[in-house]
Amino acid sequence: EFGCNICRKVLVLPLTTPCAHNFCKTCLEDAFSGQSYIKKRIYENGRTLRSLKNIIRCPSCSNDIADFLQNPQVNREMMDVIESLQRQTEQMDGNSEELSDDNAA
């Protein structure tokens, strides 16, 4: 499957979460923009006693992907496959246009 689970289009800079769901890098980052990965507990004297990790749920399931989002890596293998398939499709489209031009003559 080469579609983003957010925009439903062909993946651009694909990210594969630890729970094996695929998203465009921009779609996933935009979905959680402005959210902090760490929640600080501050007490009256202003000292931070303990930091807690915010739970950020995968848009496709309930798994926590907060750690993954701190340093998401593009799935290069998937990106190469998508680009290869797109090139093949473009070549086939070009060949079918040539055939239809030949038939019209």
**Tens-binned pLDDT, residue by residue, of the chain (105 aa):** 799 999 999 999 999 999 999 999 999 999 998 887 777 666 667 666 666 778 899 999 999 999 999 899 999 999 999 999 999 989 888 776 655 555 555
Distance, CA of 81 to CA of 75 (rounded, Å)? 10
Is residue 36 in a domain? yes
Q: What's the domain count of the chain?
A: 1
Is residue 9 in a domain? no
Is residue 105 in a domain? no
**Domain limits for position 81:** 14-96
Could you tell me the pTM of the whole model? 0.73
- As a dihedral over the C-alpha atoms of residue 81, residue 9, residue 1, residue 24, rounded to 10 degrees, the angle is 70
At 62 the three-state DSSP class reads coil
Is residue 1 in a domain? no
Distance, CA of 29 to CA of 72 (rounded, Å)? 9
Is residue 43 in a domain? yes
